Amino acid sequence: AQSVTQPDIHITVSEGASLELRCNYSYGATPYLFWYVQSPGQGLQLLLKYFSGDTLVQGIKGFEAEFKRSQSSFNLRKPSVHWSDAAEYFCAVGAWAGNNRKLIWGLGTSLAVNP
């Protein structure tokens, strides 16, 4: 069955420090992978996605993620965190059939940023 695991429920980093949020997936075919961010009081916003091609993908707000098929991982990274990055981050895999773009979600990682 398709599933997404985000091993870290909560992470705290200092502003300016580097960040890596982990995501592991289980999917039978080539996965379509996504990272979304949910800031307090706001809807989910797409940070980046992987469909095919270059396994290192760049997203908005200075985020990047690397798809590693051998490890079934799609970890999100940022070299220098800003206080405004404090939010909930969700990894998802696309369980697509036809035009149905259903997503299977991880439970999320809550990021806190210390000044």
Residue ranges that bind another protein, judged by CB under 8 A: 36, 41-46, 49, 51, 90, 92, 94, 96-108
Residues with Cβ within 8 Å of 47's Cβ and at least 6 positions away in sequence, in order, are: 34, 35, 36, 37, 59, 60, 61, 63, 65, 76, 89
Min. distance of Cβ 35 from another protein in angstroms?
A: 12
Min. distance of Cβ 7 from another protein in angstroms?
A: 14
Q: Which amino acid is at 3?
A: S
Min. distance of Cβ 61 from another protein in angstroms?
A: 16
Question: In this complex, which beta carbon is closest to another protein, that of residue 34 or of residue 81?
Answer: 34
Q: How far, in Å, CA of 42 to CA of 69, rounded?
A: 32
